Amino acid sequence: MPIDKEKEIERIKEVESINLAREEIRDEVIETKKAVEKDNELLANRVHQKFKDNNIKSFDIVGAIGAGKTALLEKIIEKISSQYRTLVICGDITTRVDADRIEKHKAETVQINTGRECALNAYHIHQIIKNKDLNNYDLVFIENVGNLICPSDFILGTDKRLIVVSTTEGEWVVEKHPMLFKMSDIAVINKIDLKERLGTDVDKMISDAKKINLKIEVITTSAKTGENIEKLMNLMGL
């Protein structure tokens, strides 16, 4: 491929919109986008197979910035780290803050800093597990980069995907972000301890989630008070 075409495709990938492609190369841009998605799916399947071959239960946790993904993981891992050998992969633009928080509860962690990318992809996960002896783990959690948009483009090859939102984002957050709710198995509405104070209509959030995805399990939790953490673990089969 000529270098200017390559550069153009890179640019389009960056802004993530084929609408901006010049007419002459529009087809090629579309093909590239399709190929990227297909490659990710193939790799995700390979990742999932490896987890299954090693009897590992795996979860991918997506959700809004600051909704409490790490806080929930801390609560869960605190309860189970003596029972399951756990690997936690944390995705963030930068810093090792989340991995350090998790490590306090005696789970092994790997931090990925995505730099300018707003989601983890299956290739990242594949690179990590390629360098690990998966015999050493019973459980893998992957905390995606916090946002409700980009992770919908990339499945990671886990058994289940959890989506976490919270009462602080307002009761419209679910209906505004249907894509990730469609592709998740469990929806967690966290910070339920703040519901009264904020006056958030949590019932609306629950019914929105169920409208978007008939099969989704919805649970309200508080990582602060510990409310419903055991129930969430039951839903996850832990």
Partner 1 sequence: MKEELIKIEELIGNFDNIEKSDIKDLMQRLFSKLGNRLEKYVGDYPTFIEPVYLEDNVKIGDDVLLGPNVYIGANSEIQDYVEMSNTIIFENVIIGENFKLENCVVAKGSSFKFNNLNMKNSVLIGETKSKDELQSKKF
Ligand X SMILES: Nc1nc2c(ncn2[C@@H]2O[C@H](COP(=O)(O)OP(=O)(O)OP(=O)(O)O)[C@@H](O)[C@H]2O)c(=O)[nH]1
Residues that bind ligand X (CB under 6 A): 63, 65-71, 98, 146, 190-191, 193-194, 222-224
Q: Residue 117 binds what, of ligand X, partner 1, Mg ion, none (CB under 5 to 8 Å, by partner type)?
A: partner 1
**Closest CB to ligand X among 28 and 193?**
193
Tell me the pairing of strands 108-113 and 186-190. unpaired
Q: Between 67 and 106, how does the x/- string for binding to Mg ion read (CB under 5 A)?
A: --xx---------------------------x--------
Q: Residue 238 binds what, of partner 1, ligand X, Mg ion, none (CB under 5 to 8 Å, by partner type)?
A: none
Strand partners, 91: 112
Report whether 134 contacts 87 (CB < 8 A): no
Beta carbon of residue 67, minimum distance to ligand X (angstroms, whole number):
4
Beta carbon of residue 141, minimum distance to partner 1 (angstroms, whole number):
16
d(CA 186, CA 188): 6
Nearest CA to 157 among 75, 233, 44? 44
Binding site for partner 1 (CB under 8 A): 10, 93-94, 96, 110-117, 124, 127-128, 131
Q: Residue 19 binds what, of Mg ion, ligand X, partner 1, none (CB under 5 to 8 Å, by partner type)?
A: none
Beta carbon of residue 109, minimum distance to partner 1 (angstroms, whole number):
9
Tell me the pairing of strands 160-166 and 139-143. unpaired
**Closest CB to Mg ion among 113 and 136?**
113
Beta carbon of residue 167, minimum distance to ligand X (angstroms, whole number):
8
Residue 171 binds Mg ion (CB under 5 A): no
Report whether 40 contacts 122 (CB < 8 A): yes
Beta carbon of residue 214, minimum distance to ligand X (angstroms, whole number):
26
d(CA 80, CA 62): 21
DSSP secondary structure, 132-183, as one string? S-GGG-SEEEEE--SBSSGGGG-----SEEEEEEEGGG-TTHHHH-HHHHHT
Q: Residue 114 binds what, of Mg ion, partner 1, ligand X, none (CB under 5 to 8 Å, by partner type)?
A: partner 1
**Closest CB to partner 1 among 116 and 215?**
116
- CB-side exposure of 66: number of CA atoms within 13 Å? 3
- Please name the residues in contact with 54: beta carbons below 8 A apart, sequence gap of 6 or more: 134, 135, 137
**Closest CB to partner 1 among 18 and 128?**
128
**Closest CB to ligand X among 18 and 198?**
198
Other Cβ atoms closer than 10 A to 106: 11
Token pair of 221, please? Answer: 């939790």
Q: How many residues does the chain have?
A: 238
**Closest CB to ligand X among 29 and 223?**
223
Q: What is the binding site for Mg ion (CB under 5 A)?
A: 69-70, 98
